[in-house]
Amino acid sequence: MTSFVLKIIALITMFIDHSGYVFMGGFSFFNYIGRIAFPIFAFQISEGYKHTKNLKKYFLRLGLFALISQVPFSLFSHKYLSGNVLTLNVFFTLYLGLLSIYLYDYIVGLFKHKTIETNDSIATKSNTVLTNIGRIIGIFIMILIAYIAKLINADYGFWGVLVVFVFYIFNSKKLLMTIAFFILCMAKYAIQYINSNFYFAYLILALCTFLPIIFITAYNGKQGSKIKYLLYIFYPLHLLILYFL
């Protein structure tokens, strides 16, 4: 499965999710289908980070469309979700997710550069310790960024940044990626599930959120057809169209 196919699946399921509020008058089975979209977008961020030729432009593109999409997102949210609290659109979450993996790599890289190049066993252990310290600090920074996503009320918030990070860290280890993502999905809905006296809808939401791992693990590492700006343009555009319906 190529990156192109993954993006199409994400776009279609996102549209189904949002159109459900318009045509079904509120939360419906459309929204269960819609849970597939965000994890795929999060995975695409981790892939984009690895393969982009210009990271600065990647950051700029995400940030620019986060700003462009905010008015359509706010209009849609206010009309169909009855939200009075300002929520930032998903591009802000994806931007912070990208920032978290960039800073993680940067910090780990700093500590690796301080390692001693020698065959001595003691020095080798010191190198390992230094690298692990860098990883711990990098994870701590990622958690801070995830908390910022929560504080600014970005869509998917803390959890969303964690998903981007998990997909990046376990990118080459599909089994670990699957296990870690499953834990995140269960944790996301665990509190609501318990507080609602084990209302089955939250369990279904958790399972539907986990479902896109099937597509993600089937990814073959190939780009496929290029639709570089389709996601960026489609997101605010479809929200505006749905708002005016």
CB atoms within 10 A of CB 128: 11
- Smallest Cα–Cα separation from 15: which of 4, 30, 27? 30
Across the 245 residues of the chain, what is the mean pLDDT of every consecutive 10-residue run? 94 96 89 96 96 94 97 92 79 98 94 61 61 91 97 96 97 95 93 82 92 96 83 94 93
Closest CA to 43 of 89, 85, 98, 82: 98
pLDDT at 194: 84
Res 224: pLDDT: 82
Total Cβ atoms within 10 A of residue 140 = 12
pLDDT for res 86: 84
Task: Go through 209-225 and write b for each residue having 16 or more CB atoms within 10 A of its CB, e for each that does not.
Answer: bbbbbebbeebeeeeee
pLDDT at 123: 47
pLDDT score, position 70:
96
Identify the domain containing residue 138 by its residue range: 3-244
Domains identified in the chain, total number: 1
Q: Look at residue 84 in the predicted model and tell me its pLDDT.
A: 53
* pLDDT for the residue 190: 87
